[in-house]
């Protein structure tokens, strides 16, 4: 009789133990809440988790799509000219949070406005966060500007490099001026580095694969805050000490506009 009672009791313990395990297995587990995923009251760009930003660049002259060599343009000083070549660096995209914190994505891209494939690129490893503004350098930051032989977009074989001491050519534009003359501007030097600030607060986008279309207005190089004239400021810039380089670089700080920001 004792043996029978023992087995009955043992069976009851097994049933009770299994029941506890089942209860634990089906008990809802607490999940970590991603604040960037749930945010709804925001402006700018929210990246819920590490993501990407694809940038698509387009080039204009006061609203007209840029045409090379064949079309005459007139700048604010009244000079008539063509644009034969346009190449520049688009680097150090830096995202700005509402509290002012800055996140430098440390990208280095060389843009050839004649080559469609170079005008669209993707920046990876964008940290999660809410961003209401951004800055970009139209050139190379001082640290990398004097770091010697480098690879990728900063490879000197791209012919956007002067010497180890003076560094990279940030922005190159050349063409013809009415009267049979030519102009050639190579802008470089740490003191001539255009930094463009862009506002994201007018957008409301949440995405881990954001797409940004940016327009560059070449006409802005030659106006605001100071009109630039081929005749009075010169037809050639090939050193970082040329005062005309600083004049152009300062004008260039408002030549970019974000056309759209989409998921």
Distance CA 208, CA 49 (A): 6
Distance CA 145, CA 164 (A): 9
Domain map of the chain by residue range? 35-262
Q: Which long-range contacts (CB under 8 A, 24 or more apart) does 149-153 make?
A: 152/108, 153/89, 153/108, 153/109, 153/110
Q: What's the pLDDT score for residue 148? A: 83
User: Which pLDDT band holds residue 165 (cuts at 50, 70, 90)?
Assistant: confident
| pLDDT tens digit sequence for 88-111 | 999 999 999 999 999 999 999 999
Geometric angle at alpha carbon 254, from 89 and 237, rounded to 5° = 55
Nearest Cα residue to 126 out of 155, 82, 94: 94
| pLDDT tens digit sequence for 46-87 | 999 999 999 999 999 999 999 999 999 999 999 999 999 999
Cβ–Cβ contacts within 10 Å for residue 128, how many?
15
């Amino acid at each position: 009789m004792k043996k029978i009672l023992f087995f009955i009791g043992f069976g009851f313990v097994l049933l009770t133990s299994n029941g506890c395990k089942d209860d634990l297995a089906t008990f809802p587990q607490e999940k970590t809440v991603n604040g960037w995923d749930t945010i709804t009251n925001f402006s700018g760009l929210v990246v819920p988790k590490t993501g990407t930003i694809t940038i698509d660049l387009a080039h204009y002259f006061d609203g007209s799509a840029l045409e090379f060599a064949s079309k005459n343009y007139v700048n604010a000083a009244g000079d008539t000219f063509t644009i034969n070549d346009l190449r520049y660096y688009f680097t150090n995209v830096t995202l700005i949070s509402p509290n002012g914190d800055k996140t430098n994505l440390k990208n280095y891209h060389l843009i050839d406005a004649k080559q469609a494939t170079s005008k669209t690129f993707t920046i990876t490893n964008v940290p999660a966060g809410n961003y209401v503004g951004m800055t970009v350098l139209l050139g190379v930051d001082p640290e990398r500007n004097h770091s010697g032989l480098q690879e990728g977009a900063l490879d000197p074989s791209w012919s956007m490099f002067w010497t180890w001491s003076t560094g990279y050519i940030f922005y190159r534009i050349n063409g013809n001026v009415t009267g049979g003359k030519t102009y050639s501007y190579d802008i470089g030097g740490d003191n001539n580095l255009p930094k463009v600030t862009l506002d994201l607060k007018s957008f409301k986008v949440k995405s881990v694969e954001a797409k940004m279309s940016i327009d560059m207005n070449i006409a802005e190089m030659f106006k605001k805050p100071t009109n630039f004239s081929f005749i009075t400021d010169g037809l050639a810039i090939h050193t970082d000490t040329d005062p005309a380089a600083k004049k152009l670089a300062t004008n260039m700080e408002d030549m970019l506009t974000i056309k759209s920001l989409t998921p």
